[in-house]
Structure 1
Amino acid sequence: MAWFKRESKGITTSTEEKKEAPDGVWNKCPNCKRPLHYSEQVENQYVCHYCGYHLRIGSKEYFSIIFDNNEFTELFTDLRSADPLQFEDTKKYSDRLKETINKTGLKDAIRAAHGTVDGQPLMIACMDFNFIGGSMGSVVGEKIARSIDYCIEHKVPFLMISKSGGARMMEAAFSLMQMAKTSAKLALLGQAQVPYVSLLTDPTTGGVTASYAMLGDINIAEPGALIGFAGPRVIKETIKKDLPKGFQTAEFLQEHGFLDFIVDRREMKEKLGSFLKMMAN
């Protein structure tokens, strides 16, 4: 039954001879569905070179893109979330924290570091969505507060990179208190006349949007970023009206005055350098 066999030399490949691509070498653009090689992603700063879609990245990648020569000093690395409420749903919160720390190599959903951008000093606090959805808990609020204190003391501008699903429900009121805490600290930063730039990335939602993410002296976002407070279904049921198309995108928010600029990630460092020089003068 030659119908079911390939007998031409060089065509038949046994299962043992087939080679799989290593994990992480290739992935697919969520927007245009075209394959992207990892080296191309790094070279293009994690932006799809076919359609311009901005892939989701974390603090490691943002630090490498923004800081000069990827040189920086990370601060407040000893902070870790506790479990003050002994929260337990399908799993103990304390166990989930341990698992997430081991899986991601992160201590919590935010990292803070200072370095230079185009020769200008800058403090960056950047959220990581891989750590429990980038949720805002006590450690997130405390790291932001300490970062602001550092900026006030050293007169260094502050950049906050937000990427979050909102407040961390496992810490309940402790999490919600971070909204007031960080907003109050930003008021002190303003009184000290130290610049604050807020960068909103995909997604920025919930209590993060309702607090520090929208309080920048300059509010910027990446193209196509999802930015909002509540989900579309909740809003629609509340106002009893159909929602405009794309109403929670960065482009819609800029059109309605909530954002100052939308900046392509490949131009981010240059733009930030210009902002910092302008504000320093």
Structure 2
Amino acid sequence: MLKDLFTKSTKKKYAAIPSTIAKQDVPEGILTKCPKCKKIIYTKELIKNLKVCLHCGYHHTMNARERLDSFLDEGTFEEMDREMISVNPLQFPGYLEKVEKDRQKTKENEAVVTGLGTVGGMKTVIAIMDSTFRMASMGAVVGEKITRAIEKADECSLPFIIFTASGGARMQEGILSLMQMAKTSAALKRFSDHGGLYISIMTHPTTGGVSASFASLGDYNLAEPGALIGFAGKRVIEQTIREELPEDFQTAEFQLEHGQVDAVISRLELKEQVANILEIHQPGGVPQWQEN
């Protein structure tokens, strides 16, 4: 499906980049090697294509700001709770130093960015987890920011959209981290009881306590191609049940086949598809395919 989006001439253009170029003395960042197909791509072209490989469709990692720029209508984002930062409730050695290092590296204060914006002209509350910050592990601040975003959507009668990506609960915060599973789920239940629309978009990887709580509770549970989605890791499960699992186990496609997600959608089509869902749920909304 994805390959049909590109003309033969476009494929020929990018296929002309020889793999040996990676061995040449070129400035860092000019070229990117796809970890799946091993082809070399000009980084500018990869970014222009929303970090989706032009050869095989592999979805490269995006940070929170890149997702905001690619998904929301330009200039509509209003950030919430940016000033919130983690503390060290258990006095875990070296924890705050690691958080500060990620803060400097990513220019974000925590592993989730929340706020309001529009998608196709329709206003929504959005949360985007950033896997470049502590692998988007869920601590008290992450849970609190997501809960506040859900409550904001409830208060304003707006849809809530989240992009999930997480290695699970943040062990340095112990039980306080695990409590965020219940807190966010309870907020979503109140939101649902009031008729709120919740769209969960699972990206690579969505695992641990995040997958076991708010990531899987959407009215629409969507996923990006190839995303790892699951609770425990594949090797842990194999060692527990003493069986070998399928090679594609816990991928978005595997989860779709087994009814755990509603659709697997390419990043190139995601904004249009989500905008269509939002339009359907507007008062008097009609899906685009019925208008045609």
Give TM-score, length-normalised by structure 1: 0.90
Picking from 212, 221, 224, the partner of 1:222 is: 224
The DSSP-based 3-state class of the residue aligned with 2:26 is coil
> Which residue is equivalent to 2:210?
208
Picking from 111, 114, 117, the partner of 1:112 is: 114
Distance (whole Å) between structure 2 residues aligned to residue 71 and residue 20 of structure 1:
41
> Which residue is equivalent to 1:3?
none
Distance (whole Å) between structure 2 residues aligned to residue 174 and residue 147 of structure 1:
19
AA in 1 matched with 2:232: A
Instruction: Report the alpha carbon displacement of residue 20 of structure 1 after superposing the two structures with TM.
Output: 4.8
Does structure 1 retain, via aligned residues, the 8 Å contact 2:238–2:245? yes
Within-5 A mapping of 1:240-251: 240-251=242-253
Give TM-score, length-normalised by structure 2: 0.87
Instruction: Report the alpha carbon displacement of residue 21 of structure 1 after superposing the two structures with TM.
Output: 3.5
Structure with bigger gyration radius: 1
Does structure 1 retain, via aligned residues, the 8 Å contact 2:234–2:249? no
> Which residue is equivalent to 1:12?
none
Moved more, 178-187 or 40-49: 40-49
Picking from 149, 152, 173, the partner of 2:151 is: 149
> Which residue is equivalent to 1:15?
none
> Which residue is equivalent to 1:168?
170
**Aligned residues with identical type, % of pairs:** 45
> Which residue is equivalent to 1:25?
30
Does structure 2 retain, via aligned residues, the 8 Å contact 1:63–1:70? no
Distance (whole Å) between structure 2 residues aligned to residue 213 and residue 54 of structure 1:
19
AA in 1 matched with 2:160: F
Instruction: Report the alpha carbon displacement of residue 71 of structure 1 after superposing the two structures with TM.
Output: 3.0
> Which residue is equivalent to 2:183?
181
The DSSP-based 3-state class of the residue aligned with 1:30 is coil
Structure 1 residue 77 corresponds to structure 2 residue 79: no
Distance (whole Å) between structure 2 residues aligned to residue 40 and residue 185 of structure 1:
40
> Which residue is equivalent to 2:12?
none
Instruction: Report the alpha carbon displacement of residue 179 of structure 1 after superposing the two structures with TM.
Output: 0.4
Instruction: Report the alpha carbon displacement of residue 113 of structure 1 after superposing the two structures with TM.
Output: 1.8
> Which residue is equivalent to 1:276?
278
Distance (whole Å) between structure 1 residues aligned to residue 217 and residue 174 of structure 2:
23
Does structure 1 retain, via aligned residues, the 8 Å contact 2:115–2:127? yes
Within-5 A mapping of 1:233-244: 233-244=235-246
AA in 2 matched with 1:142: E
AA in 1 matched with 2:63: G
Instruction: Report the alpha carbon displacement of residue 147 of structure 1 after superposing the two structures with TM.
Output: 0.2
Instruction: Report the alpha carbon displacement of residue 70 of structure 1 after superposing the two structures with TM.
Output: 4.7
The DSSP-based 3-state class of the residue aligned with 2:41 is strand
Moved beyond 2 Å, runs of 4+ = 19-25
Distance (whole Å) between structure 1 residues aligned to residue 75 and residue 225 of structure 2:
24
> Which residue is equivalent to 2:132?
130
Structure 1 residue 98 corresponds to structure 2 residue 103: no
> Which residue is equivalent to 2:5?
none
For structure 1, the 5+ residue unaligned runs are 1-18
> Which residue is equivalent to 2:61?
56
Distance (whole Å) between structure 2 residues aligned to residue 134 and residue 22 of structure 1:
30
Post-superposition Cα deviations, 1:141-186, rounded to whole Å, max 9, x if no partner, equal 0000000111011111001100110101111111000000000000
Does structure 2 retain, via aligned residues, the 8 Å contact 1:209–1:229? yes
Distance (whole Å) between structure 2 residues aligned to residue 65 and residue 124 of structure 1:
13
